[in-house]
């Protein structure tokens, strides 16, 4: 494709060398690319990111790969060769950011340990995304989302009451680690404007997930009591949760007494709060099935959509449990442009999720679709001043 226009995004002018693969790292560099950074994805010749071959393939294209690798250029480099490593060093000399999600120690074995990186480019912000962090007894362990969910405590709090610990379906520990990495890198770029120097950033899947427990971790640390799995019920608020209207479920979250009054008011059940059986949260929680029946009985008199309008108008947080088909057709999701179509040359339009954080002055945008394997190898090597004869030599040697 033709050269993309100069980026106007927040991170315009920032060059990212991306050694990552699969999910946590590519998600991080996608976020940076969406913000206008120039992301150069370094892949193994003839092989590339394994996600190129994963998920549903349509006309030779993995939509999973396409959605997490938009806004990137691809160069193939065999980093097991001296020539390949020399080209990587040249790329890093001109770059602002390096991101990798190898196991700790791999960069050192490739000859790109901390000191070497610093000598190549002292302004480089170098980020490692890994499972457990690079220090500590588990540093060398292979990581995977399911294991990070197990070891961060997430599975222990997720699940129906009385059931087993449960994985959350999306690979959240990968995505959270990628997002923390993007934040850490951008903060380090901000520090560089003051110090003139780059630094090392590290984001670990278990650490990131553990930071997301909010009151669950605070309560445990304050009391030593373990949180129980409560499914859709709130541990200490009632009524709260999933209820049943005439045509389906409604999620309702009366998070405090004021909102609970509004909720019961709309349902014409205000008497509940004056009834000695139900006049405290504690009593209501102890009689949850009775309360649920009272609420369901009222909700059964109208359609779900009507209740949602009435309750929202009264300031009661509520909504439908939507599946992905409903989400991706929802008027709010469409108004927020959370589904976008990217024209993938040779494949036609690919639908993917949009930009989760919006900036109005330097908005996120799609400057280019996901690259073919090595699509920009010649272009990038030309930028480094390598001529056609050199490219031939590198190609013949299996280096690019």
Q: Which residues are catalytic?
A: 234
Q: Which is nearer to a copy of itself, 8 or 301 (CB)?
A: 8
Q: How far apart are CA 54 and CA 65, in angstroms?
A: 8
Q: Which of 40, 88, 95, 155 binds a copy of itself (CB under 8 A)?
A: 155
Tokens of 275: 């009834």
Local structure of residue 360 (DSSP, 8 states): S
Q: Site map for a copy of itself, 306-325, x if CB under 8 A? A: ------x--xxxxxxxxxxx
Tokens of 396: 């013949």
Q: Which of 17, 79, 175, 400 binds a copy of itself (CB under 8 A)?
A: 175
Q: Which stretch binds a copy of itself (CB under 8 A): 40-48, 72-80, 128-136, 291-299?
A: 128-136
Instruction: State the number of binding residues for a copy of itself (CB under 8 A).
Output: 152
Q: Which stretch binds a copy of itself (CB under 8 A): 39-47, 158-166, 295-303, 366-374?
A: 158-166
Q: What does residue 73 show for φ and ψ, rounded to 5 degrees?
A: -105, 155
Q: Which is nearer to a copy of itself, 119 or 223 (CB)?
A: 223
Residues pairing with 39 in the sheet: 16, 72
Tokens of 8: 């106007």
Q: How far apart are CA 251 and CA 298, in angstroms?
A: 15
| Touching a copy of itself, residues 288-307 (CB under 8 A) | none
Q: Which stretch binds a copy of itself (CB under 8 A): 72-80, 142-150, 278-286, 371-379?
A: 142-150
Q: How far apart are CA 305 and CA 302, in angstroms?
A: 8
Nearest to 174 by CA among 327, 26, 331: 26
Q: Which stretch binds a copy of itself (CB under 8 A): 156-164, 276-284, 297-305, 378-386?
A: 156-164
Q: Which of 101, 199, 344, 377 binds a copy of itself (CB under 8 A)?
A: 199
Q: Site map for a copy of itself, 229-258, x if CB under 8 A? A: xxxx-x-----xxx------x-x-x-xx--
Nearest to 239 by CA among 208, 213, 261, 218: 261
Q: Which is nearer to a copy of itself, 22 or 391 (CB)?
A: 22
Tokens of 235: 């541990």
- Name every residue whose Cβ is closer than 8 Å to that of residue 161 and which is 6 or more positions away in sequence: 228, 229, 230, 231, 233
Q: How far is CA 385 from the centre of its chain?
A: 36
Tokens of 55: 């998920």
Nearest to 328 by CA among 317, 337, 315: 337
Q: Which is nearer to a copy of itself, 122 or 397 (CB)?
A: 122
Q: Which of 91, 189, 367, 370 binds a copy of itself (CB under 8 A)?
A: 189
| Touching a copy of itself, residues 44-73 (CB under 8 A) | 50, 54-56, 58, 62-64, 66-68
Strand-pair category, 241-245 with 72-76: unpaired
Q: Which of 16, 17, 19, 35 binds a copy of itself (CB under 8 A)?
A: 35
Task: Identify the sign of the CA torsion 28, 124, 102, 381.
Answer: positive
Residues pairing with 241 in the sheet: 252
Q: Tell the smallest beta-carbon distance from residue 357 to a copy of itself (Å).
A: 4
| Touching a copy of itself, residues 322-351 (CB under 8 A) | 322-328, 330-336, 338-339, 351
Q: Which of 42, 92, 117, 188 binds a copy of itself (CB under 8 A)?
A: 188
Q: Which of 109, 115, 214, 268 binds a copy of itself (CB under 8 A)?
A: 214
Residue 76 Cα distances to 116, 176, 218, 375, angstroms:
22, 28, 47, 8
**DSSP result, 263-286:** HHHHTT-GGGGGSTTTSSHHHHHH
Q: Tell the smallest beta-carbon distance from residue 377 to a copy of itself (Å).
A: 26
Is 158 a binding residue for a copy of itself by CB under 8 A? The answer is yes
Q: Site map for a copy of itself, 13-32, x if CB under 8 A? A: xx--------x---x---x-
Q: Tell the smallest beta-carbon distance from residue 174 to a copy of itself (Å).
A: 7
Is 221 a binding residue for a copy of itself by CB under 8 A? The answer is yes
């Amino acid at each position: 494709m033709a050269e993309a226009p100069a980026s106007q995004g927040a991170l315009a002018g920032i060059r990212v060398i991306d050694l990552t693969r699969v999910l946590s790292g590519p998600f991080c560099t996608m976020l940076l690319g969406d913000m206008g950074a120039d992301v150069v994805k370094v892949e193994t010749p003839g092989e590339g990111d394994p996600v190129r071959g994963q998920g549903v393939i349509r006309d030779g294209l993995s939509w999973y790969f396409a959605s997490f690798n938009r806004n990137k250029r691809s160069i193939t480099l065999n980093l097991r060769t001296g020539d390949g490593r020399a080209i990587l060093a040249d790329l890093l000399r001109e770059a602002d950011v390096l991101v990798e999600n190898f196991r700790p120690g791999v960069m050192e074995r490739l000859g790109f340990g901390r000191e070497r990186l610093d000598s190549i480019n002292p302004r480089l912000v170098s980020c490692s995304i890994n499972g457990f962090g690079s220090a500590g007894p588990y540093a060398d362990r292979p990581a995977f989302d399911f294991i990070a969910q197990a070891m961060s405590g997430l599975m222990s709090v997720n699940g129906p009451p009385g059931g087993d610990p449960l994985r959350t379906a999306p690979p959240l520990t990968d995505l959270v680690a990628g997002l923390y990495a993007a934040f850490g890198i951008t903060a380090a770029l901000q520090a560089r404007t003051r110090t003139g120097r780059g630094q090392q950033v590290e984001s670990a899947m278990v650490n990131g997930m553990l930071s997301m427990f909010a009151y669950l971790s605070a309560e445990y640390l304050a009391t030593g009591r373990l949180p129980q799995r409560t499914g859709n019920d709130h541990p200490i608020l009632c009524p709260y949760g999933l209820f049943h209207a005439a045509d389906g479920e409604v999620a309702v979250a009366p998070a405090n007494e004021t909102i609970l009054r509004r909720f019961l008011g709309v349902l014409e059940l205000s008497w509940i709060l004056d009834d000695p059986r139900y006049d405290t949260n504690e009593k209501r929680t102890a009689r949850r099935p009775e309360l649920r029946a009272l609420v369901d009985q009222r909700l059964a008199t109208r359609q779900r959509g009507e209740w949602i309008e009435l309750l929202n108008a009264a300031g009661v947080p509520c909504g439908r449990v939507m599946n992905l088909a409903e989400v991706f057709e929802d008027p709010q999701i469409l108004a927020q442009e959370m589904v976008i179509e990217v024209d993938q040359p040779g494949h036609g339009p690919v639908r993917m999720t949009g930009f989760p954080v919006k900036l109005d002055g330097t908005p996120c945008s799609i400057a280019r679709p996901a690259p073919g394997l090595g699509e920009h190898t010649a272009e990038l090597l030309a930028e480094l001043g390598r001529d056609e004869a050199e490219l031939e030599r590198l190609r013949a040697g299996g280096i690019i």
